[in-house]
Amino acid sequence: MARQGRTSQDNDTGDGPRVVVVGAGVVGICAALQLQREGARVTVLDRQAPGEGASYGNMSIIGEDSVVPIATPGVLKQLPRMLMDPLSPLAIRWSYVPQLFPWLWRFLKAARPAEVERISKALADLLDGAIDAFKPLLEEAGEPDMLRRTGWLCVYETERGFRAYRRSLELQRRRGVRVDVLDGGELRQLEPALGDTDRFHKGVYYPDVCYASDNYKLVRVLARSFRQRGGRILREEVGDFEIGPEGPSAVVTQKGRHAFDRLVIAAGAWSRPLTRKLGCDVPLETERGYHLTLNDPETRPRTPVFSTEHGMVCTPIDAGLRIGGTVELGGLEAPPDWRRADVLLRNAQRWFPDLTDRDSSRWMGHRPSMPDSMPVISRAPHFHNTVFAFGHGHCGLMLSARTGEMVRDLVLDRDPAVDPTPFRADRFQARRPDRA
């Protein structure tokens, strides 16, 4: 039986539905804002302050080009390297393989060509309008200029690396992504900070991309806007749910209980234990991502620059130059392997030789990741009054405002602009013919 404690009452004025959003990352805050704008009485619960999870350390990129899933036909060839090299761009901790195996099996199944095409189409629909979805939220928050539309640049040091990327490039073009392929001289003209262009074979420029000048501040700005309009954000860890005749009716935290009419689970990598309590076990894992932020960099590119060869992104944020990326599959409990942050600097020095870590900070966070690279954005399979919104992988910031719109519509019993079917929570479970 859920423990007894204080019951939240101070958000019960008004006529809109009472909604509890579990998770104060960028996805949860955007969902809370969108619901609040429609008259809902919203309370956000999280054990951390807004933006202190994966939202704190992402690479700040927002665009509509991320239509290529992580699992592609060539990924099987990389598995031996993942297991043998702990510093490779995509690495797996041996000790975690037994727990990871079901997720990894689904990941490999998602790499089949027909699946890649299907997933890419669904991602393209979700990404369409991802940048514009931020505009009303940032304007109402009084910070309309936090997104810088500079595009971003992918560089290739070798012909082999560029050749390996061509299939992804073709897939992006089929989805309508605008790309410009550049030679060494054009790279130098677009991004002078790259210096000696003899080191680069090709570049790919994506013009329809922007980045947040301060991704952590962006979340806090939106959270402040939510509070100023009467929303509540409480630092409480959700441990259980009370289930009534119509479904979940209250969340139970270490400080008490909060009754609601509608519930949203947007707790990022920590969402799976909560969905299990609601009868739905989703195959959610964590991609452990690392970054190194140089607070006073010797070199600063004017656009974000990234490499698929090294699994790395360099973004010129307000705080300095953030170097991040890589994927380490190792669960939520293992300690950081800071060698992965150190190797990011060495790789960045290939492009910007003057960089040093004399004034820098390191970070490791948990990206919530589904094996097919698509988030869960759907009603809970067993409860109409509960909506799930998590599993965005590398696209959490990128898709947060768009996801907020979908969550709003699902909670308020509207038809979302994007078909939520591909993002069902139960999409990995066998479906009876009468539900097809």
User: What is the structure's pLDDT at 344?
Assistant: 92
pLDDT level of residue 301 (50, 70, 90 thresholds): very high
pLDDT level of residue 372 (50, 70, 90 thresholds): very high
Instruction: Flag whether pLDDT at 365 surpasses 60.
Output: yes
Instruction: Flag whether pLDDT at 431 surpasses 60.
Output: no
Question: Which residues lie closer than 8 Å to 108 by C-beta, 6 or more apart?
Answer: 71, 75, 76
Write the pLDDT tens digit of every residue in 90-133: 888 888 999 999 999 999 999 999 999 999 999 999 999 999 99
* Model pTM score: 0.94
User: What is the structure's pLDDT at 152?
Assistant: 96
Instruction: Flag whether pLDDT at 280 surpasses 50.
Output: yes
Residue 92: DSSP 8-state:
E
pLDDT level of residue 430 (50, 70, 90 thresholds): low
Show the tokens assigned to 338.
């800071």
User: What is the structure's pLDDT at 423?
Assistant: 98
User: What is the structure's pLDDT at 8?
Assistant: 45
Instruction: Flag whether pLDDT at 148 surpasses 80.
Output: yes
| Residue 316, CB-side half-sphere exposure with 13 Å CA sphere | 18
Instruction: Flag whether pLDDT at 199 surpasses 60.
Output: yes
Other C-beta atoms closer than 10 Å to the C-beta of 149 total 12
User: Across the chain, what does the average pLDDT equal?
Assistant: 92
pLDDT level of residue 371 (50, 70, 90 thresholds): very high
Gap between the Cα atoms of 92 and 331, Å rounded: 10
* CA angle 29–403–433, rounded 5-degree value: 135
pLDDT level of residue 9 (50, 70, 90 thresholds): very low
Instruction: Flag whether pLDDT at 433 surpasses 70.
Output: no
Gap between the Cα atoms of 202 and 366, Å rounded: 32
User: What is the structure's pLDDT at 82?
Assistant: 67
Average pLDDT over residues 234-239: 97
Write the pLDDT tens digit of every residue in 342-363: 999 999 998 999 999 999 999 9
Show the tokens assigned to 363.
């970070």
Closest CA to 236 of 20, 27, 26, 48: 48
Domain boundaries, the chain: 1-6+16-71+113-148+209-284+373-436
Show the tokens assigned to 289.
């991502």
Q: Which CATH class is domain 1-6+16-71+113-148+209-284+373-436?
A: alpha beta
Other C-beta atoms closer than 10 Å to the C-beta of 128 total 17
Closest CA to 47 of 214, 216, 276, 271: 271
Write the pLDDT tens digit of every residue in 27-54: 999 999 999 999 999 999 999 999 999 9
Q: What percent of the chain has pLDDT over 70?
A: 94
